[in-house]
Structure formats: structure tokens, C-alpha cells
Amino acid sequence: MYNIAKGMNEKEIDDYVDFVLKNMSLEDKVKQMVGNGINVKVLFDLGFGKRVYDAAGSEKYNIPPLKFTDGPRGVIIPGSTCFPVSMARGASWDVDLEERVGDVIGKEVRAHGGNLFGGVCINNLRHPSWGRAQETYGEDTFLIGELGAALVRGVQKHNVMATAKHFAANSIEKSRFKVNVKMDERTLREVYLPHFRRCVEVGCATVMSAYNKFRGKFCGHNDYLLRKILKDEWNFQGFVHSDWVYGVKDTLGGIIGGLDVEMPRAKYYKFKKIEEALQDGKISVSMIDQAAGRVMRTILRYTTKEDPQIYEPKLIGCDEHRQVALEAAEKCMVLLKNENDVLPLDKKKIVKLGIFGKLARIRNTGDHGSSNVNTKKVITPLKGIREYVGDNIEILYEDGRNVQNVKNTAKEVDAAIVFVGLTYKDEGEYIHELRIGGDRENLSLHKDHIELIKLIAEQNDNCIVVLIGGSAIVMEEWKNQVPAILMAWYSGMEGGKALAKIIFGEVNPSGKLPFTIPIDPKHLPFFKANIDEIEYGYYHGYTLFEKEGYEPAFPFGFGLSYTTFDYSNLQVDVNEGKIIANVDVNNVGTLAGDEIVQLYIGFENSQIERPLKLLKGFSRVSLKPNKKKNIKIEVPTKNLAWFNPKSKSWEVEKIKYTLFMGSSSKNEDLLSIQFNIEN
């Protein structure tokens, strides 16, 4: 037995792995490159996600196995803390919070006996129809990268290997196993890769290759993505594992393409197949050594580190962790409309409160795919409101099926809250074995939900619409008929409690949209759920809307508060490779609240094709009434660069730029000032 010491440094680990590779049998090396998982049928029969899944490892050389579990909403093994979905946390724009979410998840992965976390899902939301929109943080690469990197940092604090997925350009669900995604080099480098690079830069231990093809080659076989860009250019030291079951299509493709581990079990990476390929001279032993070496080095880097604490099972779903889920739910909800200050409701003035819609009383934490957290204790909106008001307010509930009852109740109550939106039946990971999930064909609400809203709005002027979902919902058919709209997302196990606190003003809503909500779906890029090939353009979301001059229903970065924030005194300075921006933010309202200050850079003077502006910084600030703070955000000049496909390098133009700071991406919400980059 070889004693692997706690606290080995990187050189000791590298030397040890070199020793192992010199002495390990070929068969054991190949064992490092496969999951030990069981076949898919048994996987589902036993209940997917009920435990960690093993891969790699060597008893002889004292290399612990990988122990994998998902997912973006929390650890999917039963009993774990169920957070608001990633898209909801995208609306919090709170990097510190996301790191603390990662901290909780890291502890719970370890408490479940795991060491590999598959939950940093950072694909771009190119179109709101994408079935797995809820698993990523939004449409903008900078926002996705900052929050994805925060989750990586939090999880890896507990010696858990994080996975950035799905590398790359996985933004259609139904066709994910077959679709060939094409795009030009600037679109790849400037739009679809920067957030993956950001996670690699903060030390993300592993990357999961996507199912789809990229420029004609499956991502699990794509040497341009996996070897040229990820491992060579970005100097990625970890390993690439495949998406499950269908992530590898043949032995040579995977090995030559640079895929290190086939999950969840050996199919194309069976020893016999690899041995054959070696004998035929189609692959080399050094390719096997590289893959097995990456896996063993990464495992040892994480499993020989001193643990910051003990990970007992009682940590799983504990109250302290639920508090973080509650905070996330409170910070993610986005107030989209609030005419006549209908919200917050005044507990002292409301005698009767109507709650309408089936979604008020069902557990609705998101899709039922690989990110589904199997948690028992979910506070639904109806439960949260009932618990919040106690006996002080009479709650009248109608699920919406009996029109006459809805009409009578809506007329009788002082305010009416109607819960509408989506469930796992409408959007989610497409699991054909279970016939669930897929992309949304229709971006509006269900017809019966729209009718319910209209019916209630006719009877009650204080009609508040609460939307549940994981992506943009088109609201044109009804949004002008109600005074208040709140996007509440799939808000996790504590969502109902957070919602009640926001409705009654104990918490001031602070969420900002992580995507653009269109007036007309025709303004969005082309999207087709079942498609064999597609070209992704350089523009989508707010960059597309600004380029084409489309007016959104609600813009990227938009969200109201119960108070008002005033911006003034914008200043900019450029030195030592940084743009230093300052702005005063003043809470001129009557309630304390959080504001998310956004910083955009304008490229209207660019000599090349570029978006009108791009998000390059943001900062959350808490302010009491009549308090003012100066917010400073620094942007490294290199972050203004564009990728020149001719020189294959990043270049910063020496031009005049515009700096914008304010409360949303809408120009009317932004102060602006110009600055030059000269050298």
C-alpha cells in the first residue's frame, strides 16, 4: 500500500502520479477513465439521484474513487437543501450569496459521502424556450461567469470537485443529443465561452462535455474545444467527464478528442476497445496516461487537502442551510410592476385576502430532471402566506376551477393574489424514459391562467399576479390589466415564506431580471426544439434588442423596489489597466432596500461590429431611507477586448467608450460618461 498523506503539495502529488503511471497496469489506467455506474435502466429503477455514483480510483495505489452527485438547485440526494433554481439566483445578482449557496452545497455533498459536484450549469440562455433555462444564471456571459465562479469557489472550499457544464453551446433541450451547433469564432470566444473560462480561472476542478455537436463534432470528441482551447490555451489542469450515457459516441472520438472520463459507465471506454485501438496504433499509451493522470492528480488534489470541518449527516438540510435558501428566495424575486403602490399589502388594513390558482398550493421547485432536489419540506405560497398572517387576516382560497366562486371571492376580498406560471410539465430536462421535460413551444401563460387573471382583475382593482417559472414569460395579453406583477421563480423549499415577507413588505424586493422579456417572441433569435443543425449568432437577449431597436416588455437588469434609488455624480478614471467607475446611490424613498448597481460599457464608436453595450460589472448595495453610498466598480481594461479571429488574439480598441451605471440595461435608467483608452 502506498501512503497518501494529508496535505501533500502539488509537486508531491505530481511526482506520485508519475510513479503510479509508470507502475500501474494499462487496465487500471483505463479504470480511471470510466464511471463504475450501473446501466441506465437500473439507474432509473433504483431511483436516479438516490446516492453518489462512483468512478475511477485505485485501492492498490490508494487513489479514492470519484463520488458524483448533481445539481444546480442543490444536492439531489434526498433530504438536501433545495434552493431557488439557478436562474432565480441569477436574478439576485449576489456573488457573495452564490458563494454561500456553494458553501452549503459543498458541505452537503461531503455529508452525503460525495466529492464530485455536477451542478455549475453555465450555458447561455440564448432563447427563453430552452427547457433547462432554470439551471443557468441568465442570458449574459458576464453575469453567468461571476455567479458560476462564485458557486465553484463555495463548493470547492469543502474539497469537493466542482463541474462546469455543459461544455459547450448546449442551449436547446429536445435536440441536445444530436443538434450540430455552428457559430463564428468571435461568437464562440466572446459570447459562449467566457463564463467557462471564468470558472477555469477560479480553479474549477472539472468540466462536463455537452451532448451536442459543435461545428460538426460531438462535444465529447471535440479536440478544438477540449484540447486546443480548454487544455492548451486555458491551461486547464483538471479533467473532462462526459455527459451521461450518450456523451461519448465512439472510443477513438473520445480519446483523440480529449475526453478523460466516460460517465456513468464504460461503454466505449471498455478496456478491450481501448486495448484494440492501442494495438491498431490509432491511439497512444501517452493519451491514456494523460487522461488517467489528470483524473488521479485532480482526485488527490482534493482528497488529500485538510478538511475545514467534519461533515456529519446532520448537516444535510439543516436549519442553518434552510436559512440560506430563504435568503436566496427573498433576494431573487423581481417586482416587475407595482402601480398605485398596491404592494406591499398592509397587514393592518387587509381584512380578507384572496389567494387564487393551483400553483399557490403545490410544491413547485422546478423540473424533474437531473437537477431535481428531492426535498420533503417545501413551503408553498399558500402555506407561507397563511403562516405569515396567522389569524389576523382571513384567507379565502380558490384554485380557479369554479368560475362563479372565483368571481364572488375576488369581489369580496380586499386584495387578490393570483398564482400562475409553469411546472415541470411545461419545461425542464428532457427525460424520454419518463416522458417529461423539453423546450417550451409557447412563451405565454396557459390559456386558463390568462382567463383566471382577467376574471379576477375585472372584480378587484388590487389584483397581484405572481409568476412561477424558470425563464421569460410573455405577458402582453394581460399585463396592462393588472396593477402588480411579481416574478417569484421556482423559489425552493423556503419560497412560500420569502414570498409572504415580500408581499407584506417585511422584505423589500431587490431582484433584477437576468434575461430580456420580449413583447413579441418574433423579436427573439430563431429557435426550434427539434432540429439537426443551427447557427448561433453573435447577438441574443439585450444585445440583439438594442441592435435591432426592439422595445422589450421588461429589459435585462430590470426590477422595481418598494423604495426609490437615485443615481448621481458618475465619475470615471482610467489608469494602470483599469477603468475605475464611481457613482452615488441615494435611497430617496421611505423603506430600506437593496439596489443592484449595474455597469455597462458602450462600444458605439467601435471600428468593428460590436454590441451597443455590454454588462461589465455590478454591485449590490443596501441602503436605509435617505442614506447615500458611493459605489466603486473596477473593470480591467482587458475585459473590453474583442477576439480578432485573424490574429487569434484579444485586442482592446484605442477608441472613445461610454461608461453607463444605473438600475437596469435600459438607457433611461443609466447615467453615462465617456472615456478614452489610448495605450
Shortest Å, Cβ 267 to ligand GLC: 15
For ligand GLC, which residue of 74, 106, 114, 118 counts as binding (CB under 6 A)?
118
Shortest Å, Cβ 395 to ligand GLC: 39
DSSP 8-state secondary structure symbol assigned to residue 183: -
**Angle value at C-alpha 362, between 392 and 507, nearest 5 degrees:** 50
- Per CB under 6 A, contacts with ligand GLC among 473-502 are none
What is the SS3 assignment for 527? coil
- Show Cβ contacts of residue 519 under 8 Å, excluding neighbours closer than 6 positions: 474, 476, 550, 551, 552, 553
**Measured between alpha carbons, how far is 552 from 223 in angstroms, rounded to an integer?**
39
The closest of 8, 44, 21 to 432, measured between CA atoms, is 44
Which segments of 460-501 are extended strands (E)? Answer: 463-468, 484-487
Using CB under 6 A, count the residues that bind ligand GLC: 6
Shortest Å, Cβ 243 to ligand GLC: 5
Shortest Å, Cβ 397 to ligand GLC: 37
- Per CB under 6 A, contacts with ligand GLC among 153-212 are 165
* C-beta of 87 vs 498, nearer to ligand GLC: 87
* C-beta of 370 vs 462, nearer to ligand GLC: 370
User: Where does residue 305 rank: exposed (0-12), middle (13-18), buried (19+ CB within 10 A)?
Assistant: middle
**Measured between alpha carbons, how far is 160 from 61 in angstroms, rounded to an integer?**
21
Which residue's CB comes closest to ligand GLC?
A: 370
Site string for ligand GLC, 41-80 (x = CB under 6 A): -----------------------------x----------
Shortest Å, Cβ 68 to ligand GLC: 7
> Is 330 a residue that touches ligand GLC (CB under 6 A)?
no
- CA–chain centroid gap for 196, Å, is 12
- With cell 510513479, the residue in question is 19
Site string for ligand GLC, 599-638 (x = CB under 6 A): ----------------------------------------
Shortest Å, Cβ 46 to ligand GLC: 14
> Is 367 a residue that touches ligand GLC (CB under 6 A)?
no
**Measured between alpha carbons, how far is 661 from 466 in angstroms, rounded to an integer?**
29
Are 238 and 199 in contact by the 8 Å Cβ rule? The answer is no
* C-beta of 176 vs 613, nearer to ligand GLC: 176
Q: Residues 140, 243, 367, 594: which is the catalytic one?
A: 243
Give the DSSP letter string of 623-654: E-TT-EEEEEEEEEGGGG-EEETTTTEEE---
For ligand GLC, which residue of 108, 140, 173, 243 counts as binding (CB under 6 A)?
243
* C-beta of 93 vs 211, nearer to ligand GLC: 211
* Burial track 453-475 (b if 16+ CB lie within 10 A, e otherwise): bebbbebbebbbbbbbbbbbbbb
**Angle value at C-alpha 442, between 437 and 448, nearest 5 degrees:** 95
Provide the pairing of β-strand 352-356 with 415-421. Answer: parallel
Give phi and psi for 308, each to the nearest 5: -70, -15
Give 510-521 as a 3 state SS string: CCCCCCCEECCH
> Is 244 a residue that touches ligand GLC (CB under 6 A)?
yes
**Angle value at C-alpha 461, between 459 and 462, nearest 5 degrees:** 115
> Is 260 a residue that touches ligand GLC (CB under 6 A)?
no
- With cell 411546472, the residue in question is 423
> Is 565 a residue that touches ligand GLC (CB under 6 A)?
no
Shortest Å, Cβ 371 to ligand GLC: 7
* C-beta of 267 vs 501, nearer to ligand GLC: 267
> Is 370 a residue that touches ligand GLC (CB under 6 A)?
yes
Shortest Å, Cβ 211 to ligand GLC: 7
The closest of 173, 281, 268 to 220, measured between CA atoms, is 268
Residue 346 annotated among the catalytic residues of the structure: no
**Measured between alpha carbons, how far is 462 from 28 in angstroms, rounded to an integer?**
68
* C-beta of 33 vs 585, nearer to ligand GLC: 33
Q: What type of residue is 642? A: W
Shortest Å, Cβ 204 to ligand GLC: 14
User: What residues are annotated to the active site?
Assistant: 243
Q: What is the binding site for ligand GLC (CB under 6 A)?
A: 70, 118, 165, 243-244, 370
